[in-house]
Amino acid sequence: MTHANEHAHPVTSPKTYGLVLLALLVLTVITVQASYFDFGPWNTVVALIIASAKGSLVALFFMHLRHDKFNAVIFVGGLLFLAIFLIWTLFDISTRQTVLPSNLKTPVEEFPGAPLGGPVRPSTGQPRGMPAQ
């Protein structure tokens, strides 16, 4: 039938697991070290690539997806839909143009309701950052 694990559940030896752990620890060191370098806009990308490498190790070995094609499809499917969520949302968020009235006197504030200290939300007079009533 559909499942590779239908009959035998292959047993992986502890040694393999040990090697995987080692690899994971090494990658952790690498990613911490890499955070001290400046790759410019690629910083996040580098960090995410290393994280994905670690994630794949965990999924393939610890979670046995190596031997478990069926559940791998489920899992990757889930990730795929997460990607759709992100990308389709970006279709909107990253292609919006900013509309401004031509006579806008003051520049648009980044955090009108909550800059550094304490005061108020302009429209309702409540303390900053409070949900209005």
Any contact of residue 105 with another protein (CB under 8 A)? no
Torsion of CA 14, 17, 21, 27, to 10 degrees: 150
Any contact of residue 5 with another protein (CB under 8 A)? yes
Q: By C-alpha distance, which of 103, 97, 70 is closest to 2?
A: 70
Report the residue from 21, 67, 69, 119 that binds another protein according to the rule CB under 8 A.
21
Beta bridge partners of 120: 127
Binding mask 32-71 for another protein (x = CB under 8 A): x-xx--x----xx--xx-xx--xx--xx-xxx----x-xx
Any contact of residue 119 with another protein (CB under 8 A)? no
Q: By C-alpha distance, which of 32, 69, 66 is closest to 47?
A: 32
Give me the least distance between CB of 19 and another protein, in Å please.
Answer: 11
133: how many CB neighbours lie within 10 A of its CB?
Answer: 5
Any contact of residue 112 with another protein (CB under 8 A)? yes
Any contact of residue 107 with another protein (CB under 8 A)? no
